Amino acid sequence: MPEIKNVTISVNTIDRVVPHQKISYATLIGMAFPNATGANYIVKYYKGNSDNLTGTLPPGGEVMVKDGMDFRITGTGES
């Protein structure tokens, strides 16, 4: 059983060291905003894996991380 390596990703422009595996919507919004739960945030990622460079991660979804991957997360309730 090989040990899982760590990679550095950027979550809302802050570097985070995470295991090199899939990361969930819930984990990401919790990193971006303390105590954030639910399905109220839009999560987009950039510089992902070559077969999935960029996209939107839906609530309940997960995506494989890559070193240098960039996540941007905000609510969209202001008008």
Residues interacting with other proteins, by CB under 8 A?
12-13, 33-44, 46, 56, 58-59, 72, 74-79
Considering the complex, state which of residue 19 and residue 58 has its C-beta at the smaller distance from other proteins.
Answer: 58
Given a contact cutoff of 8 angstroms between Cβ atoms, the answer to whether 30 and 16 are in contact is: no
Spell 8-30 as b/e; 16+ CB within 10 A means b. Answer: ebbbeeeebebeeeebebbebbe
SS3 label, residue 29: helix
Q: How far is the CB of 25 from other proteins (least distance, A)?
A: 9
Q: How far is the CB of 30 from other proteins (least distance, A)?
A: 10
Considering the complex, state which of residue 20 and residue 61 has its C-beta at the smaller distance from other proteins.
Answer: 61
Considering the complex, state which of residue 29 and residue 65 has its C-beta at the smaller distance from other proteins.
Answer: 29
